[in-house]
């Protein structure tokens, strides 16, 4: 109990579900579902970070896709950009001496020397966190709608930078990203043989993140973040340094988004500019809203279902419309989300002919 | 004896309104001091200037012997000032205990990493903070409500939760901004007793209050403001008889004293 903390039941149930789904998928020869579930897990990392930032600390961000893309693009660039012709540069020579470079055959008979995927991944995370830290300074002078718009602007800038820059492949993005070997025998890669291990790695990471963020929310830091959300005046009165906590939680959410970007890029062996698009950011916000804002589990469940359906193509060409519609509907009918909210009561009272006004609307 | 709080020549203007002007006073350790005055006299502005929620245009604020003018609210809290608000500021979705626990912020250390990993030190610290807060809730008669959602409580109880949150900060100066606002007579009487008991533990209290009964009953010293300036300062009995005070409360005509 002391080690497990609150919410152990949900985490244990989720772990059982993860295993059960894998067994069922393998037994029914539908292992390809696991690929989409792995990609959903990466989206959940972004969503969990955003739920902490938006739902608990009360700070909206419409730019999470930007941090996701920074993580993915930096990792992709460093693991594909050929440094062999630049060996005479001091910096490259230093990297080589530090054993941070590796050489592998490229697709066309030659070879490419690039930064080791591990070093690239760590650099990508650190870089995204640094960008978040720098951006936090000016944007957290703003609140509410203005903050949402400023982060939206950040997301647009990142999107256009990756789309416009030849180093990042323009509209094609970057492909031929190698696998990322996490442990001996466990590599982040889209190869069919590694489907099951990647599925478990991704969901293991989601469970770990859920556990850590749940702990955080119940800790001194979580209380400080919720106090900032509830009343900045009251938070300041008990000595909580508001600006510092906003910056730290923003960096944490950005780092989680960047981690997801790094992993998905290795899993897909590439990344394109659509990952940085504003609609992707809107999608993460919609998922957090439908999950109930200050509700990590709700965000996790709804995020998995919606991302999986979207990746399966269930929404056809109305993909973005579905997420935009969900966001609108959630704001209108159930700001508390579906999981754990009072959506059903509200819907009933919205569409009910009798009891108008005195049943449920007061809740 | 060196004053705990010393305000000198404090001034603040909002547009055309001089909210506080050339105001000087001191709060000595161990006292209950009240600031009174008609609406618009600058009481709340004075509170905000002293506690870091507004910047003075002129003058100085010394707290525990140090100049603190220009410090932000959380920095002043870190130096031992705690306050409550006229408009109750509790966090929705958090229990009474959790709200009060936020008051332990500056006495605890757990950061992001320790919190996420439930490191033993952070758990120990959290347990100690919880016990400390439960003691304070018991002191204020709220022990049974620790797990209730704070904003669902009756108004008077919410005021006490705010008070508990300020007390667990272990301040050296407690600022109460109209603590009796919205309370009924019975609750106001209880509050007077509570403030007295808090003061008896050695805590210095500075309060802004409209309820004259409460102020005359518990204060050791009273500062009377009118139009942002000091009108009078002294013991409750002297203040009650002071003709200037009677004039600003009852208007300029030659009225009988109340």
Q: Tell me the C-alpha distance between A254 and A65, whole Å.
A: 9
Q: Is B229 left (phi over 0), alpha (psi -120 to 50) or beta?
A: beta
ipTM score assigned to the predicted complex: 0.94
Q: How many inter-chain contacts (A to B, CB under 8 Å) are there? A: 111
Residue B20 lies in a domain: yes
User: For all residues of chain A together, what is the average pLDDT?
Assistant: 91
What does the pLDDT read at residue A339?
63
Look at residue B188 and tell me if it is in a domain: no
Q: Which residues of B touch A231 (CB under 8 A)?
A: 89-91
User: Measured between alpha carbons, how far is A210 from A347 in angstroms, rounded to an integer?
Assistant: 30
Output the six-digit token pair for B138: 């018991």
Mean pLDDT, range B121-135, rounded to an integer: 97
Q: Is residue B191 part of a domain?
A: no
Give the position of tokens 């010394």. Answer: B62
Question: Tell me: the pLDDT tens digits for A79-99?
Answer: 999 999 998 899 999 999 999
- Say what the pLDDT of residue B258 is: 44
Does B5 share its domain with B76? yes
Q: Which of residues 107-126 of B touch A (CB under 8 A)?
A: 108-112, 114-118, 122-123, 125-126
For residue A92, what are the β-bridge partners?
A: none
Please check whether residues B217 and B251 belong to one and the same domain.
Answer: yes
The answer to whether residues B257 and B179 belong to one domain is: yes
Same domain, residue pair B8 and B72: yes
Instruction: Report which DSSP code applies to B256.
Output: P
B-chain residues near A220 (CB < 8 A): 101, 104-105, 108-110, 115, 122, 125-126, 129
Q: Across-strand partners of B83?
A: B175
Give yes or no: residues B67 and B138 share one domain. no
CA distance B72 to A149: 27
Mutation target among B93, B104, B118 for the A interface, most CBs of A within 10 A: B118
Residues 241-270 of A with CB under 8 A from B: 241-242, 248, 252
**A347 pLDDT higher than 80:** no
Percent of chain A residues topping a pLDDT of 90:
81
| Pair type for strands A186-188 and A180-183 | antiparallel
pLDDT at A3 > cutoff 90: no
Q: What is the pLDDT of residues A30-48, one digit of tens each?
A: 999 999 999 999 999 999 9
Tell me, yes or no, whether B256 and B135 share the same domain: no
Q: Is the pLDDT of residue A2 over 50?
A: no
Three-state secondary structure of B2-61: CCCEEEEEEEEEECCEEEEEEEEEEECCCCEEEEECCCCCCHHHHHHHHHCCCCCCEEEE
What span, in angstroms and rounded, lies between the C-alpha atoms of B115 and A220?
7
CB A259 within 8 A of CB A300: no
Could you give the CA distance from residue B247 to residue B35 in angstroms, rounded to a whole number?
Answer: 17
What does the pLDDT read at residue B257?
Answer: 44
Q: Mark whether B232 and B210 lie in a shared domain.
A: yes
B202 touches chain A (CB under 8 A): no
Nearest to A233 among B85, B106, B122 (CB): B85
User: A359 or B175: which carries more pLDDT confidence?
Assistant: B175
Contacts of A165 (CB under 8 A, 6+ apart): none
Considering the domain boundaries, does residue B21 fall inside one? yes
Q: Where are the beta strands (DSSP E) in B101-254?
A: 173-177, 204-208, 221-226, 229-234
* C-alpha span between A5 and A127 (Å, rounded): 33
> What is the extent of the structural domain holding B141?
89-170
- Decide if A322 touches B, using CB distance below 8 A: no
B243 to chain A, closest Cα gap in Å: 37
Q: In this structure, is residue B190 part of a structural domain?
A: no
Give the confidence band of A348 by pLDDT, cuts at 50, 70, 90.
Answer: low
* Residue B1: inside a domain: yes
Which residues 6+ apart lie within 8 Å of A2 measured at CB? B123
Question: For chain B, how many structural domains are there in total?
Answer: 2
Residues B4 and B65 in one domain: yes
- Segment B238-257 shows an average pLDDT of 76
Task: Answer yes or no: do B51 and B29 share one domain.
Answer: yes
Residues B19 and B40 in one domain: yes
Please tell me the distance from the alpha carbon of residue A143 to that of residue B60, in angstroms, as a whole number: 31
CATH assignment of the domain containing B51: 3.40.50.300
SS3 B233: strand
Q: Which residues of A touch B118 (CB under 8 A)?
A: 3, 5, 215, 219
Between β-strands B32-36 and B221-226, what pairing exists: parallel, antiparallel or unpaired? Answer: parallel
Rounded Cα distance between B88 and A317, Å, is 49
With respect to residue B3, please indicate whether it lies within any of the assigned structural domains: yes
DSSP 3-state assignment of B119?
coil
What is the 3-class SS of chain A, one letter each residue?
CCCCCCCHHHHHHHHHHHHHHHHHHHHCCCCHHHHHHHHHHHHHHHHHHHHHHHHHCCCCCCCHHHHHHHHHHHHHHHCCCCCHHHCCCHHHHHHHHCCCEEEEECCCCCEEEEECHHHHHHHHHHHHHHHHHHHHHHHCCCCHHHHHHHHHHHHHHHHHHHHHCHHHCHHHCEECCCCEEEECCEEECCCHHHHHHHHHHHHHHHHHHHHHHHHHHCCHHHHHHHHHHHCHHHHHHCCCCHHHHHHHHHHHHHHHHHHHHHHHHHHHCEECHHHHCHHHHHHHHHHHHHHCCCCHHHHHHHHHHHHHHHHHCCCHHHHHHHHHHHHHHHHHHCCCCCCCCCHHHHHHHHHCCCCCCCCCCCC
β-strand pairing of B204-208 with B173-177: parallel
B102 touches chain A (CB under 8 A): yes
pLDDT, one tens digit per residue, over B23-74 is: 999 999 999 999 999 988 999 999 999 999 999 999 999 999 999 999 999 9
Do B177 and B253 fall into the same domain? Answer: yes
Residue B225 resides in a domain:
yes
pLDDT at A106: 84
Q: If pLDDT is split at 50, 70 and 90, which confidence band does A333 have?
A: confident
CA distance B112 to chain A (A): 6
pLDDT at A245: 98
On the question of pLDDT at A360 being above 90, the answer is: no
Q: Tokens at residue A358, please?
A: 């005195």
Query: Does the pLDDT value for residue A359 go beyond 50?
Result: no
Q: What's this model's pTM, rounded to 2 decimal places?
A: 0.92
CA dist., res. B238 & res. B121, Å (int): 54
Give me the residue label for tokens 């910096």: A91
Which residues does chain A have within 8 Å of residue B111's beta carbon, measured at their own beta carbons? 221
Largest alpha-carbon pair distance within chain B?
71
* Exposed e or buried b per residue across B199-212, where buried means at least 16 C-beta atoms within 10 angstroms of its C-beta: beeebbbbbbbebb
Please give the average per-residue pLDDT across B199-213, as a whole number: 95
Are both B52 and B153 inside the same structural domain?
no
The pLDDT of residue A362 is: 37
Rg (chain B; Cα; Å): 19
Token digits of residue A141: 């002078």
- Domain end among B126, B149, B170: B170
């Amino acid at each position: 109990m002391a080690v497990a903390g609150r919410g152990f039941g949900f985490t244990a149930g989720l772990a059982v579900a993860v295993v059960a789904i894998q067994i069922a998928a393998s037994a029914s020869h539908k292992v390809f579902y696991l690929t989409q579930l792995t990609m959903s897990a990466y989206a959940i990392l972004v969503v969990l970070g955003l739920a902490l930032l938006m739902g608990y600390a009360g700070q909206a961000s419409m730019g999470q896709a930007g941090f996701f893309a920074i993580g993915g693009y930096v990792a992709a660039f460093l693991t594909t950009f050929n440094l062999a012709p630049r060996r005479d540069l001091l910096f490259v020579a230093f990297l080589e001496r530090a054993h941070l470079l590796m050489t592998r055959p490229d697709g066309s008979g030659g070879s490419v020397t690039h930064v080791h995927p591990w070093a690239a991944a760590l650099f990508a995370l650190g870089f995204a966190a640094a960008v978040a830290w720098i951006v936090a300074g000016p944007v957290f002078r703003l609140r509410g709608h203005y903050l949402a718009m400023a982060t939206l602007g950040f997301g647009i800038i990142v999107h256009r930078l990756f789309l416009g820059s030849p180093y990042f492949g323009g509209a094609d993005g970057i492909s031929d990203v190698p696998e990322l070997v996490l442990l001996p025998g466990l590599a982040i890669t889209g190869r069919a043989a590694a489907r099951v291990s990647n599925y478990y790695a991704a969901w293991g990471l989601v469970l770990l993140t859920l556990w850590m963020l749940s702990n955080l929310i119940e800790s001194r830091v979580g209380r400080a973040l919720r106090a900032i959300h509830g009343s900045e005046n009251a938070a300041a009165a008990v000595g909580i340094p508001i600006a510092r906590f906003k910056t730290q939680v923003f960096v944490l959410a950005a780092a989680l988004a960047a981690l997801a970007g790094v992993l998905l890029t290795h899993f897909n062996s590439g990344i394109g500019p659509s990952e940085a698009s504003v609609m992707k950011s809107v999608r993460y916000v919609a998922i957090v809203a439908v999950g109930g804002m200050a509700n990590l589990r709700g965000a996790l469940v709804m995020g998995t279902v919606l991302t999986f359906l979207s990746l399966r193509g269930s929404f056809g060409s109305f993909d973005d419309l579905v997420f935009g519609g969900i966001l609108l509907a959630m704001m209108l009918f159930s700001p508390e989300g579906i999981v754990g909210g009072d959506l059903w009561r509200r819907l009933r009272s919205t569409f009910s002919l009798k009891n108008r006004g005195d049943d449920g609307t007061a809740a | 004896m060196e004053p705990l709080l010393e305000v000198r020549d404090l001034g603040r203007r909002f547009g055309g309104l001089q909210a506080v002007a050339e105001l000087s006073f001191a709060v000595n350790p161990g006292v209950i001091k009240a600031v009174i005055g008609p609406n618009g006299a600058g009481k709340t502005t004075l509170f905000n200037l002293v506690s870091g929620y507004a910047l003075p245009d002129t003058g100085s604020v010394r707290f525990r012997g140090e100049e603190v003018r220009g410090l932000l609210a959380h920095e002043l809290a870190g130096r031992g000032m705690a306050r409550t608000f006229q408009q109750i500021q509790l966090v929705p979705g958090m229990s009474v205990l959790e709200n009060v626990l936020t008051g332990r912020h500056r006495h605890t250390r757990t950061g992001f990493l320790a919190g996420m990993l439930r490191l033993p030190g952070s758990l120990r610290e959290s347990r100690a903070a919880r016990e400390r807060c439960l003691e304070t809730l018991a002191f204020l008669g709220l022990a049974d409500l620790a797990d209730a959602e704070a904003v669902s409580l009756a108004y008077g109880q919410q005021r006490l939760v705010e008070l508990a949150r300020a007390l667990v900060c272990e301040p050296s100066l407690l600022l109460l901004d109209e603590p009796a606002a919205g309370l009924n007579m019975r609750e106001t009487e209880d509050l007077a007793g509570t403030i007295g008991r808090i003061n008896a533990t050695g805590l210095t209290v500075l309060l802004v209050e409209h309820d004259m009964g409460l102020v005359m009953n518990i204060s050791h010293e009273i500062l009377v403001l009118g139009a942002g300036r000091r009108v009078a300062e002294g013991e409750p009995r002297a203040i009650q008889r002071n003709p200037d005070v009677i004039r600003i409360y009852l208007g300029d005509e030659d009225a009988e004293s109340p």
